[in-house]
Structure formats: structure tokens, C-alpha cells
Chain A
Amino acid sequence: MKVIELAAKLGLKVMGGQDGLNKEVKAGYTSDLLSDVMGNVEAGSIWVTLQTHKNVMAVASLKDLSAIVIVNNYAPDQDLINQSEEEGIPVLVTSDKAFEISAKIYNLIK
């Protein structure tokens, strides 16, 4: 499923990285520890986290992730949004908690 379809179905707010909305979501990963994501995420995953700083995009870009979902309606930092535009990796925001949105995403892509 493409990021854009997932965003539409789950009502995710697109905060940046529109150029990457056609990326394919192959898997998902939920974690707030950057090194955990670095070590364990699969390429092509959508990443669910509460982290809102710019380093999130470094991890997403280096691991070839398809999108980032920020939970609890937390606002991404402006430099994260800027970096997301540059990398073409969408940053999406949901009011859901991590557990809920992860379950919804899982059901859509399993």
C-alpha cells in the first residue's frame, strides 16, 4: 500500500515530504529509541514514534524508510519538516496513540 492511501484511510495529517507520498509501505516499526530503529527496522517501513526532532529524518533516510508517523498529535519540529521536504520522506501526524495507530496500520498492510 502506498503512503498516500494509508494517510487517506487513517486520516493522517501530512506535515511534509509530499514528494514521497507514492512510496510503498512494505512493513511497519514502532519505537522511540533511534538506535533500536537503526538496528532493527526493515527498509520500506513506516515508522511510528513520538520523537519530533530532526534526527528522526536522518534515521529514516539512512534506512530507506517510506514514512514517519508521529503520535498523540505531537508537533514535528520545523527543522524536521524542512528535512522531510529535502529527503522526500513524508512526516505524518495522528491523534492516535502509538498502540492504536500501529494496530490500524498493521491491519491495512498485513
Chain B
Amino acid sequence: MMEFSFEINGGDFSNAGMISSLVKKTLKQLNIDGMIIRRTVVALYEAEVNIVAHAYSGVVNVNIFPDKIKIKLTDKGTGIADIDLAMQQGYSTASPAVREMGFGAGMGLPNIKNNTDELNLESTVGVGTMLEFTNFFEPK
């Protein structure tokens, strides 16, 4: 099993995607199917951007098992008041500056859901959010 841990700073858009890129390279070296790699890094990238756009800081834990990858992102931030609403396509609380960059279209969490096999999202307003997902290397 392989384990990595990273930190993310809120507002740091220039480094968003670095963890996704590293995970992509690692999964490629492990000869994981390209489709599964893309699904995993789409979900991870969206989750990274969510922390950059909405939180003060975050920690990403990546665990690669022989049959699956499990990624957990925990942030300190504003939290999500209504998770069902946040999961809806098109709903966003992103700032105008973030939207101008082409983020904040309310597609991040739906993209994460569509690209993961298992997803768990917990949040406390004013404290932060924990998002955890798993992708299996063989179709279940």
C-alpha cells in the first residue's frame, strides 16, 4: 500500500492540480486503466479546487491499495450549509473572481459524484468539510 499526504492553502489557485498531477503519474506507473485514472484525477482536481476556492487550508490523504484508491480531503473553512443543495448541478457560492477564472459553475461536486465509485461528504458550518472517495481499479 502507498500513502501520501499533502497540504493545500486556500486561495492558492496557481498550485491547484499539483496533487492530481502527482496521483496521475503514480497511477500510470502502476499501469492502472486510463479511464479509471482520468475519473480519479477529475474528482481529485475538483476537490482540490473546492478547497482553494472555499476553505482556508486543507489536508489531502491519498491511499493506494492493490485494488482501489481512497482519497480523503479535510479542510478548515466555511463549511457547507446544505449538502443536498451543494450537490445540485449549477448551485455555487463561489465569488465573482473565482467565477471569472471559469470555476464556480456549480459543477464541481456533481463532477466528483459522477467520477467516483464511493463518496462520503460531511461538513460543519464555520468549521470545515471532509470529502472522502474511493475508486476501484476493476469495475465492480
Contacts and interface: CB of A to CB of B under 8 A. Distances in A.
B17 interface: yes
Given A33-B107, A51-B101, 16 more contacts: A34-B49, A35-B46, A35-B111, A38-B46, A39-B107, A39-B110, A39-B111, A53-B13, A53-B101, A54-B13, A58-B20, A61-B21, A61-B24, A62-B38, A62-B42, A79-B14
Nearest to A34: B102
Interface of B is mostly: helix
Interface residues of B, number: 23
Interface string A42-64: 01000001010111101101111
A28 B41 CA distance: 21
Interface residues of A, number: 21
Nearest to B13: A55
B91 interface: no
Contacts of A49: 102
Contacts of B45: 38, 58-59, 62
B20 A34 contact: no
B107 A35 contact: yes
Interface of A: 32-36, 38-39, 43, 49, 51, 53-56, 58-59, 61-64, 79
B103 interface: yes
B16 interface: yes
B127 interface: no
B34 interface: yes
B103 A39 contact: no
Nearest to B14: A54
